[in-house]
Amino acid sequence: MKALPPPPVLLRQWLYDPHAITVGLFVLALVFLVLAGWKIHRNLHHNEPGLSAPTALSFALFVAFSGLAGSERLPPPWSYVAGAAACILAGSLLLFADHRRFVRDPAGRIVADRWEIVLTYAGFRWTRDKANRHFFFTGDTGSGKTSGMNGLLAALLKRNPKLGGVVIANKGDEWFQLEALAKKYGREKDLIHLRPRMVGETEKPAHRLNVTSDVRLPFTTRARILVDTAAALNPKDEKSFFKIKGASHIGRALELLADIGRPATATNAYALLTSEKELRAALDKLTNLAPTERRIQLAETLEQTYLKHEAKEQRAGEIGTSQNYLEYLGTPEIAEVFSSDEPDTCSIADVDQGKIFCIDVPQDFTTERQYIFTAMKLLLYRHALRRYALPPWEKYALNQLIYVGDEFQNAITASHDGTSDFNVVDRLRDCMLMLIVSAQAFESLIPPQTKEQAEVLALNLKNLFMYRAASEADALRCANALGKHYVERSSRTSGADHTSYTHQRVEEYRIKPHEFRRLPDHTAVVRHCTNGYRKVTLRPA
């Protein structure tokens, strides 16, 4: 067999071959075509537009130029065939230029760019669709979760001048951070600080928002928000029967208040349902109004339920059911902001205009603050879910909403027949509401709900910031979140007269669980929902 010449000789022969330039040009065109095809496949696989117009044009020009230059060196008719093929392939790339990139209204006007970057942080970039897959920060106490969330919020404010939403001041100092960011980016007028005054303070709160004042919602939905909120404080003790019963009574009370012209607040509803004198006076006012079928039915139901009970035990049960769900708003300082008879100074719908609410209940109100945090979260959910029925172009034309909640387990709701985190989190993404939440570990999400509900919630929090793991179980969960990959292992066995080698392909964690237990402070493994992961250091600003 004839031996091949040395590589330098082969290279010299190829370079001086008369067809070398022709082959090289066609190979170059093929390389550009393969690169373009790979980018198109990758983007479409992640439900993204095919290619941006400049990229598609660049690839098309390279393919066409290389193909035409190579075809010129071929004899007819092959030169015509090769040139036509190169032009057709180059032109086909332009079909993917800005494919599904722009969202247009029925008139054809562009209302949104799907490729617009709304967030750049931790070495990653997020489009609006990717960012709305929510963010979950997890890690041990003191590992840097809160500072990481602050950095993420700052990056969002920087790129989104119309950003609106709700920030929960769970630790108590979030307002100062938010105020500093608003001043930095010129958003001071967009902040609404909902903070009840502490006992002994004389300054009246600047803003009021009645949690049952959203007239766009049915009375039953407003009542159900209060019931689900109260049920979240004692999740193991709540029965569906009592929640349905309480919601129906509170809903009728709110409807009665609205009919007679009184503010439909939780405290006024509590007064109606616990005081026979108040209820009789309200029903008397209702009978003096123009009778309608609904008013007659409402009066008969309330009178039959509350005023004609012969058994005192049954009436006591009705009062107790309503009292349990409404008493959290009875504290005067809390009611002054969240259940006041005075007109509201703001509405939850203001988030659509770029307003950012900071819910800051002092630590003195131990139970009430958790109740308010949960109720405001549900109000934001209900408001955002109204967007769900809109056409896609209308949803994209609306501003981006956020919910920021540190120690998220304190505000979780788990009602099967009401509004809960696990049963709405997947729909919030399409409503342009982004959750930015944190917890010490996945196990922290379980006490307020069942493990199955916590799993559903966690599966929908796709963008992960994993700091130092708080437990072995959490470290294993973090490792599983990144998945495994194949590695090649080899071993050598030596005997007296021979040596054998064994090769095997095994699966290993990309980052092993014990490594998550050893991460230093302010260091996180960030998993992008589609673009991989990386280990980064996120120092406080």
54 has pLDDT over 50: yes
Arithmetic mean of pLDDT over the chain: 86
422/461 Cα distance (integer angstroms): 10
479 has pLDDT over 80: yes
Length of the chain in residues, anyone?
541
Contact at 8 Å (CB) between 534 and 525? Answer: yes
192/142 Cα distance (integer angstroms): 29
Task: Identify each DSSP E strand in 132-280 by its residue range.
Answer: 135-138, 164-168, 191-194
- The predicted pLDDT at position 153 comes to 96
Question: How far from the centroid of its chain's Cα atoms is residue 354's Cα?
Answer: 17
Please give the CATH superfamily to which domain 114-202+349-468+519-537 belongs. P-loop containing nucleotide triphosphate hydrolases (3.40.50.300)
Between 475 and 321, whose confidence is greater?
A: 475
Between 259 and 300, whose confidence is greater?
A: 259
- The predicted pLDDT at position 16 comes to 66
- The predicted pLDDT at position 538 comes to 93
Q: Tell me what the mean pLDDT of segment 203-219 comes to.
A: 92
436/457 Cα distance (integer angstroms): 13
Which amino acid, 29? A
348/45 Cα distance (integer angstroms): 37
**DSSP string of 501-524, one letter each residue:** EEEEEEEEESS-HHHHTTPPTTEE
Q: Tell me what the mean pLDDT of segment 171-199 comes to.
A: 92
CA nearest 433: which of 375, 376, 388? 388
Delimit the domains of the chain by residue range.
Answer: 7-94, 114-202+349-468+519-537, 219-332
**Residue-wise pLDDT tens digits, 408-458:** 988 888 877 778 899 999 999 999 999 999 999 988 888 878 888 889 999
**Residue-wise pLDDT tens digits, 81-120:** 888 888 888 888 877 777 678 888 898 888 888 888 999 9
Between 270 and 45, whose confidence is greater?
A: 270
463 has pLDDT over 90: yes
244 has pLDDT over 90: no
6 has pLDDT over 80: no
Residue whose tokens read 């099967």: 416
CA nearest 480: which of 421, 527, 433, 428? 527
- The predicted pLDDT at position 68 comes to 81
- The predicted pLDDT at position 46 comes to 65
212 has pLDDT over 90: yes
Between 428 and 288, whose confidence is greater?
A: 428
- The predicted pLDDT at position 311 comes to 45
Question: How far from the centroid of its chain's Cα atoms is residue 319's Cα?
Answer: 38
Alpha-helical runs (H) found in 260-340 = 266-274, 276-287, 293-302, 312-326, 332-338
Alpha-helical runs (H) found in 420-471 = 421-428, 451-459
238 has pLDDT over 70: no
Residue 51 banded pLDDT, cuts 50, 70, 90: confident
User: How many H-runs (helices) and E-runs (strands) does the chain carry?
Assistant: 20, 15
Residue whose tokens read 């049960």: 317
166/171 Cα distance (integer angstroms): 15
**Residue-wise pLDDT tens digits, 314-371:** 566 666 777 788 888 888 999 999 999 999 999 999 999 999 999 999 988 988 999 9
Residue 15 banded pLDDT, cuts 50, 70, 90: low
**Strand (E) or helix (H) holding 340:** none
Between 315 and 498, whose confidence is greater?
A: 498
Contact at 8 Å (CB) between 196 and 362? Answer: yes
174/167 Cα distance (integer angstroms): 8
